[in-house]
Structures are given as structure tokens and as C-alpha cells.
Structure 1
Amino acid sequence: MHTNGLSRRIFLRTVGATGLLSALPEGSFSSHPAHSGTTCEVASPDPAEDAVPKYSIKFAVCGMSHDHIYGMVGAIQRGGGILIAAYGEEPEKLATFIKRFPGVKIVRSEDEILNDASIQLVLSSTIASHRAPLGIRVMRHGKDYLSDKPGITTLEQLAEVRKTIAETNRIYGIMYSERFEVRAAVKAGELIQSGAIGRVIQTINIAPHQIYQHQGDAGGGGSRPDWFWNPDLYGGILCDIGSHQVDQFLYYTGSTDAEVVASQIANVAHPEHPRFQDFGDMMLRGNRGVGYVRLDWFTPDGLGTWGDGRLFVLGTEGYIEVRKYTNVAVSKTGNNLFIVDKHQARYIDCNNVTLPFGPQFVSDIVNRTHTAQDQAQCLLAAELAIKAQRNAAMVHLST
């Protein structure tokens, strides 16, 4: 619908202070005519999101070192998963988990989960470097696995994961939540696949994060555990949070083969943790597009959320920008999508878009398919992130 049909609230949220200039009468500041093709939309809710899940499986949590586990559990529950058991080694994390899921059975060891034949799927957000070895054990016990990102931190782990998948025919999923659990990112994928901006040429991902965040399930809170500062344990900035962005590059460009052209990392402002990396970026080249990724841990408190994640997709017939978590100085509401093609410029509020990952992943487990996440693409994203990290130049900026 056109802007003249929107409520004042949605209109102001959409165009912001700068955009208001273009809304003034023609000729107020320029003789150029206003663009009559500008529209604002609210994506319609999909009735399927409230439908009863088609399938049901039993799943467990084994390791909850990162608070991403709550979003992971929520996705599988939306898909029909029933949480029946959990195991965690950190008492504080386990206590928080029990408060969130008071009815879940807490077991005393990992083996109790691995040896429970009724469990079909295991979720984990244990320490990053421990996730792949756990996943290998899970698959060898006849279960499927969904890891928090990064799901793999070394090439040696990756080789063993691929070998185990081939031998067991199990699913090794990695929850790249910045695509799977962001409604505007889902909508961007739908538009791209429909040909809305032509052939994709490039993706640009800007992914700032906040170390000490005060809200949400992305981890942080008032402190970080010791492993957070150690790249041997968390994987390094490009392998860790960069894996989200590499996944998006592969998915939106449709690349099935890709390489890291260049990468660099730095510790700019955390000398008390000399091995920590608070900045990194990389250039990627795929067989169907190119990509650039910038990552950092410098989100200021004034933003009001943990990061201003932004995705830009350039196509031959248009472009898309996604402001995932906020619309700076306009609205704190996330899931903002802007699309421009040869006919018009559109803003789409994507907060009603259905999140398909959970139901699709549960369906994949039941039907032995790979609809929610292509297995080869999942592991290629991990491989590229690991290689970008391993080969990154360390940059030292002078003070």
C-alpha cells in the first residue's frame, strides 16, 4: 500500500527524519519531482506459523555455554520437537536453563543423553571448540545434531565431521541464526529467489556486536566466561560470528564453490585480553557472486540493542538492504527491509514473516531430507570461516 494509506506511526518509523524531507510538497527544496513509486508495506502473516506442527520428535540439550541455546530450543519446539532431557556442566547456566524450562529432566552426564534411544536430536551451545567433537559422538550414537555457531573451529574437526556424516548418514546442522531466525533475512531470501533484484552480484554484511549486552538471548549479560576471550576455544572472530555472514553470502549468491580472497583481524581496544580479536573482515569470491564481511565488538550502549546488523545484496536489476535489529534513530523495531528495483523503492516491515527453519528441520529429521539447511552449504560456510580465520593477517593499529 502507498504511504498515504499508512498510519502516522508506521510512516514516521519507516522514513525517519531524513526521509521526511522527501515527503514535503514538490518544489520545497528542489525542482525535481517526487518519486511516485515509493511504497511501504507490512508483510502479511503466514497462517502456517500458527498451525499445529506436522511432525513430532524428541530432543535433548547437551551443553548450554552460550545463551543462543534458547533460540535453538524455541525453533525446534515450533517445529514439533519435545524437549525431554538436558545436561550442562556450568552450574549457573544450568540453573538459568531450569528456570526457563522447569519441567525438563536434568541428567547427570552426557552419556545419559547419548545412550537414550528415544532421543532423535541433540542441540548444543557448549564451548565452541567442543561442539564438533560432541556432534561426532552424537552422530555415532545414531542421532542427529544441531550446533550453535560456530559449529566447527578447525579443519581437522571439519574433516572428521564430514567423514562421520558419510559413515552414519546423520544430519549435522549449524544454527546460523542471523539468517534462520531473522524474519527480514528470510524475506530477503524469498525476494531473491523470486528474481526480484535479478542475478545477485555481491553481498555485504556489517555485523557489529556488543560484549556486555543487557538484553536478549544472544549471550553477554554482565560478564563473559573465560573461554570467550580465548581464540583456541571460541574459534576467533572470523570463525565465530563470521560464520553467520559466510552462510548468508553462500545462500544469497547461490554459490556452491567459494574461496577467501583476503582476511584480517585485530585487537584494537582490549589489551587486557591480548589474544582476543575485536575487529575482523574478509573478502569472499564464489562461483555465483562475491562478498564482503565486517565484524566487530564495538556496539555502543546508545544503540539500545546488541548490534546493528545490516545486510546489503546487490543484484543486476535492483538491491536490498536489511536492517535486522533496529532502524537507527527512527525505531527500535527490527526486521526492516528496503528494496529498490527499476520500478519502485519499497520498505517492508517483516515482523510478521514466518520463520520456517524449525518445522523444516524437524521434517528433515523425520524424512531424511535437507530442506531447512543444505548439508554441503552448511559445512562449506564453516570451512570458509575457518580458512579466513586461519589465514588472516593480524593488524596492529598505532595509538
Structure 2
Amino acid sequence: MKSNRRKFLQHTLTTAAGLAALPATTLSRPSEMNTKGTIAKAAGAIRFSVIGLNHGHIYSQVEAVMRGGGELVSFYAKEQDLGEAFAKKYPQAKAARSEKEILEDKSIQLVVSASIPSDRALLGIAVMQHGKDFMVDKPGITTLQQLADVRKVQQETKRIYSIMYSERLENRATIKAGELVKAGAIGQVVQTIGLGPHRINLKSRPEWFFDKNRYGGILCDIGSHQFDQFLFFTGSTQASVVASQVGNVHYPQYPDFEDFGDVTLRGNKGSGYIRVDWFTPDGLNTWGDGRLTILGTDGFIELRKNVDIGGRAGGNHLFLVDQKETRYIDCSAEPLPYGEQLVQDILHRTETAMSQAHCFLATELALKAQQQAQRLTLQK
């Protein structure tokens, strides 16, 4: 096993000179192979529909399922403008007259949603009770009571309730980091530090965006990505919130809004620190300088997901430092396996995309951190 791991790392990390960008690994591409090593089924492997278009993430969610072999059949949106935009993008999808029309369509195996966050759990429960699987944008659940209800119905129905934590599942550098950590590139993971800054784009935000009862709070919302990554990279199956704080330091005109939050975590296989905010300045050429540092006993990995302010173009930058040298890996050609893995899980009732326990634990940590957070106030 050590020999195989060494060969994998040598192949993955070999550089032509110094910090040169690397070619992609020769691992089987999930876009070509499914988790059993056979050719993935063509489009139409499953039929899926969409309910709720309130966040733009719905488009990447749909694309992920379609890449995995899903056939988009229909959609429903209460808002006419959102529905018209979606229909223009996906003319093959039928506009349903109601949620009920989709829920009662026995040919549909999966429902995908990016509805208003506080509405997502109730919709997911209805989807599972109608014998379908559910894939939802983060945050997939906004209260601990919702989480308890969702867990109960999921256990009863054995359906999939998958939350698409896109900062891991739809980021190529993070996918690559997962391969490297699994292969032992930095030894045992000790800690993750996840930074999730966002641009607020005030003029484009809907009313619900500023209502904590509807979006769940900053740690529940954009912080959810970081809890997912903490669990994934440390391998923790048990974890607790050591401390958390939230604040609204810059937008007093929105009293129910939170623009800053941070958390310290302790897991059974590592520790974590999280910081999220809505302070990305307009001078940056992307919505946020998302970063993740993974500290191991034999090295560390740093990801600059969306931008390298040091000068390299584009996103998906990975830096790896071990006992021998420092390497840079351009991850822009890495595959995104989540969509295909989810489709295969729906077909075979497996848990390759994400275990249900992981999905719910990441949500539970976010909700508990939000619930117990101290209030941060800054003196002017």
C-alpha cells in the first residue's frame, strides 16, 4: 500500500521545474468512469425536475446532474421572472403548474432545489415522502428543529437528502486536494482553516437575503461550506463547536443581517477554524478570495479557489509544501465527480457522492455554531 501511495504521489506531484504547473493525473476521470469502474450511463440515466429558483446556484446544480447523466424534465417556480429565465436556459424542461405536479410524477427520481433557504427542509421532506431523492443548495436546513424533522423522514423513507456544498464539490482545486490528502501527501491532517469571503452586491439581493429567519444566519448560510470541508479533510465523524461569533458591523440599515462570523471547531480527527464575511471589495475581479489551508503532520496544502492575488490567472490554484519542496498545481482541468456520483447513488442506493451522516453533521455543526454564537460589536 505504501508503495502504491508513493507511486501515486510521484506521478501527481512531479514537476518539470520548480513551481511549474502539473499535468492532470492519470486517475480515471469521473466524467468518463463511474464509481464501479465502468462507463457511465448516457444522458437519461435518471429523470429529474427542479422546484425553486431563488438562488443562482440552481444553474450549477442542474449542470452537475446533467453532467452525471440526468435528464431535466420539468421545473416549477412561483416567480414568473425566475421561471422565464430558467426556461430560456433550458427549453427542454416543461414548466409545471404546481409543486404537486412534479411531486406526483412517478417518473421523476430526483428533485433539485434552490428555493428560499427557510423553505428547503419542508420541500425536501415532501420530496422524500413522495419516494424521490432530493438535492438542495446550501444551506439545506436552517433550524435544528428542521434538521430533526428531516433526519426522521430520511430514516423512514431511506431517500437521499443531499446538500450541494459547492465550494468543495464544484471547485476543482478542492477535489484535487481531497485526492492528495487521501493519498497521504501531507501526513495526518491536524487542522483546516477555511476562509469564505463574499461580495454583497446589495442592489441585486432579494428581500429575503437580509432576513435571518429566512436565510438562517451567516454561519448557517455561507459558513456551511466550511463545516463540510472541515469534516471532509479531517475525516472527523464527531465534532463540537468550541466557540463562535457573528456580527453586523457595516450594514445597520439591515438589522437582521450578519456580515461577519467565525468559528473554532474540535473534531475526533482534527480541529478547524472558519471565517466568513460579506466584505469582498469591488477591486477584486471575483466574488471572493476563497482559501483553504489544510495542515498535516508532514506538510500543508493551501488552496486559492477563485483567484491568486499573487498574479496567476484564473482560479483553482493549489500549493503543496512537504518535507522536500514546495509545489504549485494548476487544477483547472480536474474533473468534478459529484453529479455523476449522485446519479449513480440514486440508481444503486449507494453513498459515494456524500454520506448522509456527513451531510447532516455538517449542517448540525453550522446550526449549533449559529445558535450559540456571541454577538460581535465594534466601537466606532
TM-score (norm 1): 0.87
**Identical amino acids, percent of aligned pairs:** 56
- What does 1:1-399 align with in structure 2 at a 5 Å threshold? 2=15, 4=17, 38-44=19-25, 48-49=30-31, 53-54=40-41, 56-212=45-201, 222-399=203-380
How many Å apart are 1:42 and its aligned residue? 3.5
- Give the aligned residue type for 2:307: T
Offset from partner CA, 1:274-306 (integer Å, 9 cap, x none): 110000000010000000000000101111110
Q: Is the 8 A contact 2:31 2:340 kept in 1?
A: no
- Give the aligned residue type for 1:91: Q
How many Å apart are 1:108 and its aligned residue? 1.1
Offset from partner CA, 1:212-257 (integer Å, 9 cap, x none): 1xxxxxxx8x411100000100010000001100000000000000
How many Å apart are 1:44 and its aligned residue? 4.5
How many Å apart are 1:102 and its aligned residue? 1.6
Using the alignment, how far apart are the partners of 1:327 and 1:38 within structure 2? 14
Q: Is the 8 A contact 1:256 1:377 kept in 2?
A: yes
SS of the equivalent of 1:72 reads helix
SS of the equivalent of 1:41 reads coil
Using the alignment, how far apart are the partners of 1:329 and 1:96 within structure 2? 37
Q: Give the superposed CA RMSD.
A: 1.5
The higher radius of gyration belongs to: 1
Q: What number of residue pairs does the alignment pair up?
A: 359
Distance 1:98 1:38, change over 3 A: closer
Using the alignment, how far apart are the partners of 2:19 and 2:312 within structure 1? 20
Distance 1:159 1:47, change over 3 A: closer
Using the alignment, how far apart are the partners of 1:2 and 1:367 within structure 2? 39
- Give the aligned residue type for 2:291: R
- Give the aligned residue type for 1:76: V
Distance 1:266 1:47, change over 3 A: closer
Q: Is the 8 A contact 1:121 1:143 kept in 2?
A: yes
Query: Which residues of structure 2 form unaligned runs of 5+?
Result: 1-13, 34-38
Q: Is the 8 A contact 1:208 1:296 kept in 2?
A: yes
- Give the aligned residue type for 2:142: T
Offset from partner CA, 1:176-223 (integer Å, 9 cap, x none): 0000000000000000000100000000001100111xxxxxxx8x41
How many Å apart are 1:50 and its aligned residue? 5.1
- Write out the 4+ residue segments of structure 1 that deviate beyond 3 Å after TM superposition: 1-4, 37-40, 44-48, 50-53
Q: Is the 8 A contact 2:30 2:337 kept in 1?
A: no
Using the alignment, how far apart are the partners of 2:80 and 2:297 within structure 1? 52
SS of the equivalent of 2:341 reads helix
Q: Which residue of 2 aligns with 1:31?
A: none
Offset from partner CA, 1:121-166 (integer Å, 9 cap, x none): 0000000010000000000000000010000011100011111011
Distance 1:274 1:367, change over 3 A: same
Q: Which residue of 2 aligns with 1:18?
A: none
Q: Which residue of 1 aligns with 2:10?
A: none
Using the alignment, how far apart are the partners of 1:42 and 1:122 within structure 2? 37
- Give the aligned residue type for 1:275: D
Q: Is the 8 A contact 2:108 2:132 kept in 1?
A: yes
Q: Which residue of 2 aligns with 1:17?
A: none
- Give the aligned residue type for 1:330: G
Using the alignment, how far apart are the partners of 1:236 and 1:380 within structure 2? 18
Using the alignment, how far apart are the partners of 1:196 and 1:329 within structure 2? 24
How many Å apart are 1:120 and its aligned residue? 0.2
Using the alignment, how far apart are the partners of 2:19 and 2:248 within structure 1? 43
Using the alignment, how far apart are the partners of 2:239 and 2:62 within structure 1? 31
Offset from partner CA, 1:322-370 (integer Å, 9 cap, x none): 0000111403410000001111211000011111101100000000001
- Give the aligned residue type for 1:54: K
SS of the equivalent of 2:204 reads coil
Using the alignment, how far apart are the partners of 1:210 and 1:244 within structure 2? 16
